[in-house]
Structure 1
């Protein structure tokens, strides 16, 4: 079994599947994808991802506020997040984090939001799904300060090996998406070769970032198979072993899903 550890099922372009999410999920299941983690990005879609996780036995979800969604949401706080996390199908917190690429003027607001997500993780023990872009030092500083026992994952990783190693030293996992297949991703491929087998996850981040040979098309959960195949060849591993390892890693990081 392979797992798509990060997808946005409520945002998929379902044109190729006659508008049916069932069809899109079945296409992935037929290729061996056995579980899906549907990611929350704001307060408004938290009920949506929970409903999807209730509807499908192989779908779990997270809830949280994406750093680039802060200005498009009603104010939220730790109390809201703790209540949302009580749902039995919510396996993780986030995605949260810091992104200074698009909204550097929102740095303080992003840090405040990230901090209460980390506080929720300390309170609940649920792992954190982290988005980070052009905010390396602040991200690592806040993770060190939080000192979480169950840590989390840096998803859709695009940074260098120094940041990956620092995150690994703090107990975090690294998740790779279709970006690793892109022609200009040599530096990321170097990171991908060096991630320990017991700390690697794979994801689509669908509907974004479709891997080669689907680049330019809407991404979907079944394409996690292409990401995994590319990584297995890149790392010189048997594909079956990479499937087994990343699935075991997912269940270790998100223990609620190990059923």
Structure 2
């Protein structure tokens, strides 16, 4: 793996990383002792969390989107006060499980994990027509409907994965009735879609992609999104912001994205930080 980027200057006020995958690349994922603290179980993971605190990103939403990562997430957030959790079956996972006859059992386990106290979100769920072809779309849509219903039943926030499927994602949310807290993780639409999503009451989370030179469409979407509908995320270890694109991402790099967002929105960084933090608490509740 490439060398991690250096720490940026700290933000003036704390913000939350709305979406990260600490399990990807974590040496402890499959061998974590039952009652270990995170720093004892995986020193690298603990160092990443510590680095994030140093730059005023003291909290994050850890996302598990297959059964192994959902189990790992539930255990991790129960021990680590800097994290709350999200669990779901990724849209690309649903067709695979359907083929092996394991989908119903997987639903049952996700539903049980979602009931744990520090699981505050169902996600990431949604549709992905980039990696799954037409033959898997019906199963993806069925899975998305199931996750929407679970989030509403448990009154949890819903985090959406939407790749090359904007119209169907919006349609299914309208048909099913979206949970009252619905977030588009790593928003990938244009300004028109952003307006439609905001009008429907949804929240938009922007990742390091908004800093990319060729992402003017994302910046157009950001520019029309009200401050109280925004979140920021890493989707780590992916989507590392400029100037470190291509190197491993982590929560401590959120300041790069926040500063780029503030520039696009023509607001000062403290104002944006305050808005992001307030909305995070509305979406996920207190971390304590």
Q: Counterpart in 1 of 2:109?
A: 80
CA shift, 1:60, in A, is: 0.6
Corresponding residue SS for 1:251: helix
2:55 to 31, 44, 54: 31
In structure 2, the residue matched to 1:247 is 277
Q: 1:10 aligns with which of 7, 10, 23?
A: 23
Give the greater-gyration-radius structure (CA): 2
| Alignment map for 1:6-155 (pairs within 5 Å) | 6-12=19-25, 20-73=44-97, 74-76=102-104, 78-105=107-134, 106-155=136-185
Alpha-carbon distance in 1 for matches of 2:47, 2:129: 37
Give the secondary structure class of the aligned counterpart of 2:213.
coil
Moved more, 102-111 or 78-87: 78-87
SS of 1:87's equivalent? coil
Structure 2 stretches of 5 or more lacking a match? 1-13, 28-41
Q: Distance in 2 between matches of 1:72 and 1:50?
A: 23
Three-state SS of the structure 2 residue aligned to 1:45 is helix
Aligned residue number for residue 9 of structure 2: none
Q: Kindly indicate whether residue 254 of structure 2 is the aligned counterpart of residue 224 of structure 1.
A: yes
One of 235, 252, 257 as aligned partner of 1:205: 235
SS of match in other structure, 1:60: strand
Q: TM-score, normalised by structure 1?
A: 0.93
Task: Indicate if the aligned counterparts of 2:70 and 2:110 stay in contact, CA closer than 8 A.
Answer: no
Post-superposition Cα deviations, 1:105-157, rounded to whole Å, max 9, x if no partner, equal 21101001001001111211111100011111111111112223523100101
TM-score of the aligned structures, taking structure 2 as reference length: 0.84
Residues 12-39 of structure 1 deviation map (CA, whole Å, 9 limit, x = unaligned): 579xxx9611111111110111211000
Quick check: 2:203–2:229 contact (8 Å CA) kept in 1? yes
Q: Structure 1 CA distance, aligned partners of 2:25 and 2:205?
A: 20
Note the C-alpha offset of 1:71.
4.0
Q: Which residue of 2 aligns with 1:172?
A: 202
How many residues were matched structurally? 255
Structure 1, unmatched stretches of 5+, are none
Mean CA deviation greater in 65-74 or 54-63? 65-74
2:211 paired residue number: 181
- The alpha-carbon deviation at position 253 of structure 1 amounts to 1.4
Identify if the C-alpha distance between structure 1 residues 75 and 210 changes in structure 2 by more than 3 Å, giving closer, same or farther. same
Answer whether contact 1:68 1:99 (CA < 8 A) is retained: yes
Q: Which runs of 4+ in 1 moved over 6 A?
A: none
How big is the alpha-carbon RMSD for the aligned residues of Structure 1 and Structure 2? 1.7
Does structure 2 retain, via aligned residues, the 8 Å contact 1:202–1:228? yes
